[in-house]
Amino acid sequence: MKLGQATIKDIARELNLSASTISRALKDYPGISDETKRKVKEVAEKMNYRPNAIALSLRQSRSFTIGVIIPEVIHFFFSTVISGIEEVANSRGYNVILSQSNEKLAREISSIETMLSNQIDGVLVSYSKETKNFDHFTKLLDQGFPIVFFDRAPAIPGAINVMVDDYQGSFDATAHLISQGYKKIVHLAGPQTLKISIDREKGYREALEKNGIRVNPAYIITCPLGTLEESKELVTEALNTLPDRPDAFFSCNDIGAVGAIMACRDAGLKIPLEVGIVGFSDWQFCSMLDPQLSSVAQPGSLMGARATEILLDIIEKKLDPKTMEQTLILETKLMERDSSKRF
Amino acid sequence: MKLGQATIKDIARELNLSASTISRALKDYPGISDETKRKVKEVAEKMNYRPNAIALSLRQSRSFTIGVIIPEVIHFFFSTVISGIEEVANSRGYNVILSQSNEKLAREISSIETMLSNQIDGVLVSYSKETKNFDHFTKLLDQGFPIVFFDRAPAIPGAINVMVDDYQGSFDATAHLISQGYKKIVHLAGPQTLKISIDREKGYREALEKNGIRVNPAYIITCPLGTLEESKELVTEALNTLPDRPDAFFSCNDIGAVGAIMACRDAGLKIPLEVGIVGFSDWQFCSMLDPQLSSVAQPGSLMGARATEILLDIIEKKLDPKTMEQTLILETKLMERDSSKRF
DNA sequence: TCGCTCTTCGCAATCGATTTCAAAACAGCA
DNA sequence: TGCTGTTTTGAAATCGATTGCGAAGAGCGA
């Protein structure tokens, strides 16, 4: 008796039949007598038979597994995306292999390599902050390998992206601050390697211009690290040194906004009376803060779900990447809370 | 030319050699001339050859993949655990297949089934709140299949568990509240199906007793849902109806503690002057709240890492589950912050 | 009893890589 | 030239499941 699982051969031996008959009986193929089918299924049940998906994968060159490459699992936003991915993949019979790049290009590349070795049917990617060269993706795309990018869209022509409307979300947030009477609005920007950072900054700029406010370059402060400490420090510095003291901060992420809250509070400024603050992402904790933080909600779970649907449709040839819409943009929603509401 | 990847046979055809020679040449087996090795490697490189892990898995009955079953990815704590798992698994050459049960027993079972079909080498499990019967796990354990449970330890003799010291963490938190002069401490407990809930309640009870405070059953309030609204409501009710008004709340999780903060604030109580509050898990946002929330930190990433190390050691037969320590308990750390510090 | 048809099942190849066993090829030496 | 020994390579089986094709057996009419 083997230690492992019962195979189709074990059943065949037990019943003095051939492996082919067992296979057909289990799948209710025509040409197998009902009596045989009954016996086969009975023995399969008894032996606790479970088909070997690996053998199937090898034969069909299909693994029913998709890969997900993400910068960091710990980010709340990404965890919601994963949740959406897992949900859809699972319901359509696919497994999800996960790998985090930790924002390192080298790990991103090696992750893809091992996943390809494991014959994944497709991959969902949100690339790392380090990634500036996309050859490892274009090579695959050229071969027709199914890839869908989410959240962070690379500068690759023909690539399929699912993202939120960073520009519009940013525009809305800035316009909201303006409508609340804030005039000297600082933008805490993200690393310029990410398209989302650029789009968010653009939304900020255009909202100002459309409302007749001149964009002051000194009011755009880049936070490369994205940590709480960094933004707190930079905001404190801005409050102390900028000739025209800012009266609002729009951060490209929630952590930065929290840093701004802290810095303003330390500076003795009242929120939202004297300073307005808006974040981006609408992390869970926004409504738990004091004051509750206004933020731009990104539909993370939906993004994961949509990206997965598209990927699986491509894999199953229901969609041709060449003929389809290249970029799916999901709407954001501004959550107006205490940190930015004066009226 | 095939669409897919180049195989060993393609290289063989190209060089007029046999598949066996290619295989040996690529692995630097003895008995292959240096000249042949050189040519084979050159062609392999040129054809962008990548070994098919599926074929290897089939042959070796080893997939170098482990499964992870988790209630919900979105939970901050679990996302840190996943991060630790992924880290260790990756560095030891294993893939991670992820599945969330959404706290549903049925999905937990079906996830395990598909993972087994996919020939995973072992599995890490944190079981769902619905799971009261562990047959689907014991069956596997009896077959000698490698399983390591984390965070939530099932009542299965011989099972290997990695968890935090819920009892001690809870004891410390309660003792801390007592040391700060709080006397009427309410415990917001979790669902009694989870061992962690029971342990945390036990730590609370014994800390009280050891400090000569009688345990008041009315002071133990169970929060089955674990939502913010629920705890807010229950705390408000407790403040209004309990004959002896509580002066502190120790919640078995952070969400509950936030609900308590809100309820107390709405009731006009000053934190920490009039009411002390401590949570459990030390989620990211604890230090961003106002007042900053004291909480018991659980080493999530470490837990994931340790559990994975043990699992891989068992898989690789470096460890025998029968002879080893059954339960690994990781230390918690009380993060004392403003919400509970009167002095 | 011989055909023929239809039902029911088995053989063998396939997927990609590894590995055992054995066979070539070639060198050295008498 | 013939024999032994070494080096280098191949054929075939294996892992588990599927499937086209062929074959055996039953049943039936002539």
Q: Under an 8 A CB cutoff, do A284 and B285 touch?
A: yes
Q: Which CATH architecture has domain B166-298+334-340?
A: 3-Layer(aba) Sandwich (3.40)
A83-138, pLDDT tens digit by residue? 999 999 999 999 999 999 999 999 999 999 999 999 999 999 999 988 889 999 99
Q: Under an 8 A CB cutoff, do A58 and B54 touch?
A: yes
B207-260, pLDDT tens digit by residue? 999 999 999 999 999 999 989 899 999 999 999 999 999 999 999 999 999 999
Give the per-residue pLDDT at B4: 66
Q: Under an 8 A CB cutoff, do B289 and A288 touch?
A: yes
Query: Cα–Cα distance between A187 and A250 in angstroms, integer?
Result: 5
Equal fold, B63-164+300-330 vs B166-298+334-340: yes
B41-92, pLDDT tens digit by residue? 999 999 999 999 999 999 999 999 999 999 999 988 999 999 999 999 999 9
Decide: residue A336, CB within 10 A, 0-12 exposed, 13-18 middle, 19+ buried.
middle
Decide: residue A1, CB within 10 A, 0-12 exposed, 13-18 middle, 19+ buried.
exposed
In this complex, the residue of B50, B61, B90 whose CB is nearest that of residue A99 is: B90
Query: Cα–Cα distance between B116 and B271 in angstroms, integer?
Result: 51
Query: Cα–Cα distance between A224 and B253 in angstroms, integer?
Result: 33
Backbone angles phi, psi at A149, to 5 degrees: -95, 145
Q: Under an 8 A CB cutoff, do A117 and B61 touch?
A: no
Is residue A324 over pLDDT 90?
Answer: no
Give the per-residue pLDDT at B3: 52
A196-214, pLDDT tens digit by residue? 899 999 999 999 999 999 9
Give the per-residue pLDDT at A29: 85
CATH number for the segment(s) A166-297+334-340: 3.40.50.2300
Give the per-residue pLDDT at A2: 38
Task: Round to a whole number and report the distance in Å from the CA of A51 to the C1' of D27.
Answer: 37
Task: Round to a whole number and report the distance in Å from the CA of B31 to the C1' of D1.
Answer: 29
Amino acid, single-letter form, for residue A203:
G
Q: Under an 8 A CB cutoff, do B83 and A73 touch?
A: yes
Contact of B163 with B287, CB cutoff 8 Å: no
B262-296, pLDDT tens digit by residue? 999 999 999 999 999 999 999 988 988 888 999 99
Q: Which residue of A has its CA nearest to B283?
A: A285
Give the per-residue pLDDT at A1: 32
Mean pLDDT over A300-305 rounds to 97
The domain spans of chain A are 8-51, 63-164+300-330, 166-297+334-340
Give the per-residue pLDDT at B173: 97
Q: Under an 8 A CB cutoff, do B52 and A80 touch?
A: no
Give the per-residue pLDDT at B1: 32
∠ CA B283-B203-B325, nearest 5°, is 85
- State the first-to-last Cα distance of chain B, in angstroms, to the nearest integer: 77
Task: Round to a whole number and report the distance in Å from the CA of B9 to the C1' of D16.
Answer: 21
CATH of A8-51, one of 3.40.80.10, 1.10.260.40, 1.10.3720.10, 3.40.50.720: 1.10.260.40
In this complex, the residue of B83, B119, B283 whose CB is nearest that of residue A100 is: B83
Q: Under an 8 A CB cutoff, do B289 and A285 touch?
A: yes
Contact between the CB of A61 and strand C at under 7 Å: yes
| Mutation for B interface: A47, A95, A102, most B CBs within 10 A | A95
Q: Which residues of chain A neighbour B115 with C-beta distances below 8 Å?
A: 95
B151-196, pLDDT tens digit by residue? 998 989 889 999 999 999 999 999 999 999 999 999 999 998 888 8
Strand C proximity: list residues 41-80 of B with CB under 7 Å: 49-52, 55-56, 58-59
A257-291, pLDDT tens digit by residue? 999 999 999 999 999 999 999 999 999 889 888 88
Query: Cα–Cα distance between B47 and A260 in angstroms, integer?
Result: 53
Q: Give A77 to chain B, closest Cα distance, Å.
A: 9
Q: Please, which pLDDT band fits residue A33 given cuts at 50, 70 and 90?
A: confident
Give the per-residue pLDDT at A4: 66
A211-258, pLDDT tens digit by residue? 999 999 999 999 999 899 999 999 999 999 999 999 999 999 999 999
Please give the sequence-ordered ranges of beta strands (E in DSSP) within A53-118, or none if there are none: 65-70, 95-100
| Mutation for B interface: A50, A54, A120, A143, most B CBs within 10 A | A54
Contact between the CB of A8 and strand D at under 7 Å: yes
Q: Which nucleotide is nearest to A60 (CA to C1')?
A: C15
Give the per-residue pLDDT at A241: 94
Under CATH, domain B63-164+300-330 is a member of which superfamily? Response regulator (3.40.50.2300)
| Furthest C-alpha separation in chain A | 91
Q: Which residue of B has its CA nearest to A94?
A: B114
Contact of B70 with B78, CB cutoff 8 Å: yes
Q: Please, which pLDDT band fits residue A155 given cuts at 50, 70 and 90?
A: confident
In chain C, which nucleotides are within 7 Å of a protein Cβ? 7-12, 14-20
A107-119, pLDDT tens digit by residue? 999 999 999 999 9
% of chain B beyond a pLDDT of 90: 78
Q: Under an 8 A CB cutoff, do B79 and A80 touch?
A: no
Q: Which residues of chain A neighbour B288 with C-beta distances below 8 Å?
A: 228, 258, 285, 289
Query: Cα–Cα distance between A341 and A277 in angstroms, integer?
Result: 9
Is residue A7 over pLDDT 80?
Answer: yes
Contact between the CB of A324 and strand D at under 7 Å: no
Average per-residue pLDDT for chain B: 93
| Mutation for B interface: A73, A116, A270, most B CBs within 10 A | A73
Task: Round to a whole number and report the distance in Å from the CA of B15 to the C1' of C22.
Answer: 23
| Furthest C-alpha separation in chain B | 91
